[in-house]
Structure 1
Amino acid sequence: MRVFEDTYRHKGLRKKLVDLLRSKGITDEKVLTAINNIPRHFFLDSAFDEIAYEDKAFPIGEGQTISQPYTVAYQTQLLQIKPFDKVLEIGTGSIYQSSVLAEMGANVCTIERQKKLYDKTKQFIFKSKYPNIKFFYGDGYEGLPTYAPFDKVIITAGAPFIPPKLIQQLKPGGKMVIPVDEGHHQRMLRITKNADGSTYEEAFENFSFVPMLTGKNG
């Protein structure tokens, strides 16, 4: 049975990571505080304990990764999270991004299409700390119409196009952050939904994500 410990060394490495993120242009102090508060090594196999605070993505199984901390911080900053925002996350993965959002006071509904990764959410170590995360097994392209509308939507995989059903599930005035394009790199977009249902797009840096796939993978 793994024993989870957050030592002074871990906390020191986290502080160094936060300083690095700040130097790379992350300015939202609420995002940086959340990352500083969350033990990233808890979300990885114990083999990664010594390197969990490097600014790198690491494998978590099923061909998926825990995103690079800079990517997590960047997407979260673009979302402009406010306490009690209702957020739809596509791609639960390691639950690290969900936890950052929950730490900032958002109410998170997160969808995972990989059954083995979804099943791991039942043993999520911070389940009692973050009752504001709800887990779903399903197809991210479909979203969660029953729980819509959402203040914010975040996609943590590279999408070949902007899923229309996710735009429909966004509130007027709501924002979606999504990496779009096929290939090895995606352009990060922030889409704001106008009162009349039209959208306004802003383009930011290029990133590299695992692809956003359709359907469920049992």
Structure 2
Amino acid sequence: MKDTHKHQGLRNQLVATIVEKGITDENVLKAIAAVPRHLFMDSGFENFAYQDKAFPIAADQTISQPYTVAFQTELLQVKPTDKILEIGTGSGYQTAVLLEIGARVYTIERQKELFKKTKIFLPKLSYKPKKIIFGDGYKGLPEEAPFDGIIVTAGAPYVPKPLLSQLKIGGRLVIPVGDKVQIMTLFVRTGEKDFEKLELGDFKFVPMLKEKN
């Protein structure tokens, strides 16, 4: 598990690419520059790790495009010590970006294979979420609510109500909503029953698994 000067140079080029695409949050850019994305991917893809593209990982899932990770993280407006719930741990790359910023991260994964792998892998890189849970993202994590931010890293056919209810007042939910193509959607909780909603363009994600019965 090596992270070399060459890898750092490639990360710096990746940061320059996402700046050109409009990402401005310094904390997000520093996190993308710090996280060794190549270690989150199968060795066969290592030479492509710092291209701004999504790639396959285990269990028919993908590691998200770095621009998408940066875009979602910027929308969350994460501050150090913020309590963040991530739905869809996946490879752990997005988790690591949030941890680099200093967030306290709780993360849920539905795919058993990925859950087992990532739970062992993240601490090896010294990334330590508060909790990595095998469970149903549609239900959120009520026992740890409320959260400053919730990020969903898979395409959701609709917005799960439990996620909205688990936000603090002033908290932000970033979720791609839709079936074949998703609209990146931001909800800001402005009151007990009030939310502001913003739609921020089309993205393509693997689908969020349907609720368990």
- Unaligned 5+ residue runs, structure 1? none
Alignment of 1:54-69 (within 5 A): 54-69=51-66
Distance 1:19 1:176 in 2: 27
Assess, with a 3 A threshold, how the Cα gap between structure 1 residues 133 and 99 changes in structure 2: closer, same or farther. Answer: farther
Correspondence for 1:14 among 11, 14, 17 = 11
Alignment of 1:27-106 (within 5 A): 27-106=24-103
Superposed CA deviations along residues 11-52 of structure 1, whole A, max 9, x for unmatched, are: 111000000000010011110100101110010111111111
Specify the SS of the correspondent of 2:17.
Answer: helix
- Number of residues paired by the alignment? 212
RMSD: 1.2
2:182 is aligned to 186
1:137 aligns with 2:134: yes
- Is the 2:107–2:129 Cα contact (8 Å) retained in structure 1? no
Greater helix content: 2
- Unaligned 5+ residue runs, structure 2? none
1:213 aligns with 2:209: yes
TM-score normalised per structure 1:
0.94
- Structure 1 residue 133 displacement after superposition: 4.0
**After the TM superposition, which parts of structure 1 deviate over 3 Å for at least 4 consecutive aligned residues?**
125-128
Letter in 2 for 1:175: R
Letter in 2 for 1:23: E
Distance 1:141 1:196 in 2: 20
Specify the SS of the correspondent of 1:141.
Answer: helix
- Structure 1 residue 124 displacement after superposition: 1.3
1:109 is aligned to 106
Superposed CA deviations along residues 143-176 of structure 1, whole A, max 9, x for unmatched, are: 1111111110000011111100111111111000
